[in-house]
């Protein structure tokens, strides 16, 4: 009987430490002038949120960003809506602007990159030709499954589902399911 109480007590301490960890990880961003973190945002371990070369980051209430995610502006703005879930090791850059709506579920190991290298001239190094930065817009109630890549200039419509390991290169209509590389529509929800 005593062992059960002991185990429950240890569990409560671990749970409190976990909650305090979210609190302290959130605190380090609260005073940055270009980062807004809403109420009850949960930030996991080893998450990197940073303003690089300008831009801003806005994360609304009740969103969770789990372990190992990277969110860097690279001169653009990143807006993440409320009640979103960004799972471990997802990378979100801001180059041309990234907007993620409310209630969006992003599985682990996804990449959201709103820029592409220009490589039109074979006589110049690719790194010397610059970037195209059109931006990415992910509307409300979208599920992006594990390992997806969302490329520059894409709009993903409300209620869409992106299948695992898909590479999204074109706009996705609202309430559709797309899969593959490049992603193609397989059905309407």
Q: Tell me which residues are annotated as active site.
A: 117
CA–centroid distance for 74 within its chain: 14
Q: Which of 39, 55, 128, 129 is closest to 92 using CA atoms?
A: 55
∠152-156-160 over CA atoms, to 5°?
145
Quick one: DSSP state of residue 135? Answer: -
38 and 61 Cβ atoms separated by less than 8 Å: yes
Distance CA 82, CA 101 (A): 7
């Amino acid at each position: 009987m005593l062992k059960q109480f002991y185990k429950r007590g240890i569990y409560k301490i671990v749970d409190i430490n976990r909650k305090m960890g979210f609190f302290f990880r959130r605190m380090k961003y609260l005073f940055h002038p270009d980062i807004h973190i809403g109420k009850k945002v949960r930030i996991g371990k080893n998450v990197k949120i940073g303003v690089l070369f300008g831009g801003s980051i806005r994360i609304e209430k009740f969103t969770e960003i789990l372990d190992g995610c990277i969110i860097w502006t690279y001169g653009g703005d990143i807006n993440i809506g409320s009640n979103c879930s960004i799972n471990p090791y997802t990378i979100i850059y801001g180059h041309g602007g990234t907007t993620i709506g409310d209630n969006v579920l992003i599985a682990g190991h996804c990449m959201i990159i709103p820029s592409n290298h220009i490589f039109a001239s074979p006589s110049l190094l690719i790194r010397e030709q610059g970037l195209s930065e059109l931006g990415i817009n992910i509307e409300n109630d979208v599920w992006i499954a594990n390992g997806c890549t969302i490329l520059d200039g894409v709009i993903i419509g409300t209620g869409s589902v992106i299948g695992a390991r898909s590479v999204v290169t074109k706009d996705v209509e609202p309430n559709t399911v797309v899969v593959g590389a490049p992603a193609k529509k397989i059905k309407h929800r």
